[in-house]
Copies of this chain bind each other. A is one copy, B any other.
Amino acid sequence: MKKSEKKSDNKQAIFDISKEENFPDWYTEICKVAELADIRYGVKGFTPFLPWSVMSMELMFDFLKDVLHKKGHLPMIFPTVIPESNLTKEAEHVDGFTPQVFWIKDYGEDGQLEEKLALRPTSETALYPMYSLWIRSWRDLPLKRYQRASIFRSEVKSTRPFLRGREFLWIESHNVFATHEEAKAQVMEDLETTKEVVTDIYGVPVMVFQRTQWDKFPGGLNTYAADTLMPDGKVIQLPSTHDLGDNFARAFDIQYLDENNETRYAFQTCYGPAISRIYGAMISVHGDDKGLRLPYAIAPYQVVIVPIFKAKNEAEVIAYAKKIESNLQKADVRVHLDDRDTTPGWKYNYWEMKGVPIRVHVGPREVKEEKIVLFRRDLMKREPVPLKSLVKEVKKLGLDIDKTLLTEAESKFEGLIVDADSIGKIIDALDHGKIARIEFCSTNMDGYDCAGQIEERTSGEIRGTRIDIEETPESVCVICGKPAKEIVYIARSY
């Protein structure tokens, strides 16, 4: 029995699915065997997240919170429930979110609430009535607050662990300013934060677009969103940030007395990095056919030590391994000594599948020669290193792994954008996993019908206009033939 159990474990540890050829299966399977999430909870779209994903997501939250904190945003924790009357105060917002809301009307055996409560689908309508009470004068501005929260939306599309669920984990930052200029500057700061955290720390490169008017945040003026590229050639939206103008301030009566004692409406922004979704994108971008490849910065274990020994030298190898563990712990490296009673080969496969960035191999020879073997998961390469430079080499290698993963991910963006001036060319581009760049009539509501035709005929979606470069249209809209006002990008998406 024990033997056969071991055998089946052995099988499990060898992961081998082509990510590029069969991404949906790769994703489903890695979530299962790496024990990231368990889809058997029994309620559609609600998925328990397991230690191996949670430990990384906690680190991801911490990095993001640190950056927000350094930029002057302070944490709050608001209730999970929002009274219906709050939700209905901003007309576009209620239209956008009501179809997504879970409602609570009852409690206990037969208790009825006076007013029905929404599980928050986003927190504008929870926070802004309080903001209205807190903000009195220009001295109270800017107000920069955020919360970490679970968000609930009764998605109709098919759900997937991390990428799309009915409950997901995010940070939402909600900020209030005296002027629209300051609010716009906050939007730019948010995009910077996305780059600093999502790209520079999690290793996920993004393209940033200003969304069209029909694809913006309900109730806001403009939405700016970061997309990344998934292995199947589709894009997925990562953090978006919204210039709310003074729309919500008017709906929720957020006014302040300016320095001349005049009453004015405030301007607002909100920014919502969904950490669970970014986690799903992150593992998709970095993983390979052998399993996960986690960035050093956010791996639950940055280093796993695998001792290699026979009975006669077990004691000295284990002692040596423990010394290494202790040295790395003292240097604040997240290290794990795998002393399970299985073969080194099994452990290699297991930790490769789990995506641990660095493995330390130690056997009798390493003990004798006072060295170690460092194995890097990203390139599947090993090299011997003297024991005395262990900590330095591990930290150096950690940085190099993260740089390598990011560079590799960024290389997928090369040659990704293809100019197209017909429906056929758009379809060809998308079929080859590319993004089509086209001239387009308008990203205001005027262009809505043309966008609908594109979506219907190509299964592609307009992601918006670039904000990092200036692009001037010179021709006509691919669909209606009217003079083009914008250059837009089309991709298939999650």
Q: Which of A48-56, A348-356, A369-377 contacts B (4 or more CB under 8 A)?
A: A48-56
Report the interface size for chain A: residues with CB under 8 A from the other chain. Answer: 59
Given contact pairs A48-B130, A77-B169, A79-B47, A106 touches B105 in the complex (Cβ within 8 A) = yes
A102 CB contacts on chain B under 8 angstroms: 104, 106-107, 117
CA distance A101 to B76 in the complex (A): 25
Confirm or deny: A493 has a beta carbon within 8 angstroms of a beta carbon on chain B: no
Given contact pairs A75-B55, A81-B167, A104 touches B104 in the complex (Cβ within 8 A) = yes
> Interface residues of A: mostly helix, strand, loop or mixed?
mixed
Confirm or deny: A383 has a beta carbon within 8 angstroms of a beta carbon on chain B: no
Confirm or deny: A80 has a beta carbon within 8 angstroms of a beta carbon on chain B: yes
Confirm or deny: A380 has a beta carbon within 8 angstroms of a beta carbon on chain B: no
C-beta contact mask, A159-170 vs B, less than 8 Å → 1, else 0?
000000001010
In the complex formed, the residue of B with least CB distance to A46 is: B79
CB pairs A–B below 8 angstroms (17 shown):
A1-B261, A40-B133, A41-B79, A41-B130, A42-B129, A43-B79, A43-B81, A46-B81, A48-B130, A49-B77, A50-B76, A51-B145, A57-B77, A80-B150, A100-B107, A102-B107, A104-B104
Chain A interfacial positions (CB closer than 8 Å to B): 1, 5, 38, 40-43, 46-51, 54-55, 57-58, 74-81, 83, 86, 98-109, 111, 115, 117, 119, 126-127, 129-130, 133-134, 137, 139, 145, 150, 152, 154, 167, 169, 257, 261
Known: A43-B81, A48-B76, A51-B75. 14 other contacts (CB 8 A): A38-B134, A41-B78, A41-B126, A41-B130, A43-B115, A49-B77, A54-B74, A55-B74, A57-B77, A80-B167, A81-B167, A100-B108, A102-B117, A103-B107
